[in-house]
Structure 1
């Protein structure tokens, strides 16, 4: 009987050659498959664009905060036990007072400085800006602050923290030595903690926290709020040499902002 072992059996398929370099078997010729990898998704993160409206709103918040302080200082005489209450009202007995005209100085558009404070050029990795946006922000901030008796000759500067030319920090400071004699006498009667608390309330900050500062006999407080859909941290300080603030855009980290604010204050006070 003939051998039928070769009939009816499917042909034996040879295994695909093993590729030692790729660590696997080669694909069967003629049946190529497209390579499947991780899909590439576009980056939808919004750009950090600090627009004029945002700057204007922040400047207004700082101005309102300073306005509360100005009203209290100008309406209250010096007292060794005087302080500002949480709502910005003086706790000492009101008394009549006068103040001399604010001292003015010529400044550059991108930054401005008092004769006894200096503009920090680079602190905590920040870059001092000279862009058109920076000049506009500084001009706006300084122009509004100098309308107040509280800021006769403020230091104002704009910074960036991520390597481009967008404004991500605004810094303003006033040397107490540049205040009028009457203004210095009145301001010296208030404790720093009450001063910064009033500034926070004026800026509509409800989550302010006291922060550590290296300033002698000083206080530092930071809090955050949403401005035009952007998180902004406001830090205010007051000590024997100066008072002022740092506004950090696109951030809600109070501790980080406090560290930066205190380092910038110390650098500015070196004169």
Structure 2
């Protein structure tokens, strides 16, 4: 996959992840991102996202930043919030100046790092001196590959998941994962691994309608030659991991094989373009007394 397509798919997937987390926290009062490549430069979305994920307070930011210096001040405040959430080396990994200048690669790396700390925290070791975004991504990839293998080990007709890309291109593993979460969702015995487009469309549809998960990828993303982008695939699997933890992820409980029908977590708002967006969205800011609504 070339750099252009990689940035395109990651921008779409990460933007949907950000909006799902904002909507989950703020419901109909959420302000959502419409262009992740340009709308994080003033720091306000970052501050709102970090508050939504960890409840880190920060009442002292500039509501309408215009100058570079004001935007940088907001982004630096967001970095302080990130450090409180455990990302103590975020300044070293992704200088805030790159975010303010609109560097797309740096912006996506920042969102990916926040996603890892939010959804894959238990897979991340304590930060050693040599810690890096790449090293943490490798840890998450290895752990999620093992997690998938354990979930699907009773599905003897499904190829073993060995990576976060072409292992999902046929859609068979994704159908099996949806079936594992809800055994009344997909007729898994009838799935033909040679019908990739149909399998992927079915799995994503059931994830959205039965499990009630935000769908962060489109079918064409998974059908790319060589399989989906690994970070995009991990962002999608993060939703399944969250569902699993909410329903059965209690200590000492590690179910094998498909699970009986159970409702998924409910995300408020409407499904638009494959993502959950709030109805009558309003701008959210943080004031001295906490969250404040500013306009519509």
TM-score (norm 2): 0.26
Which of structures 1 and 2 has the larger relative contact order (alpha carbons within 8 angstroms, sep 6+)? 2
The structure with the greater share of residues assigned to strand is 1
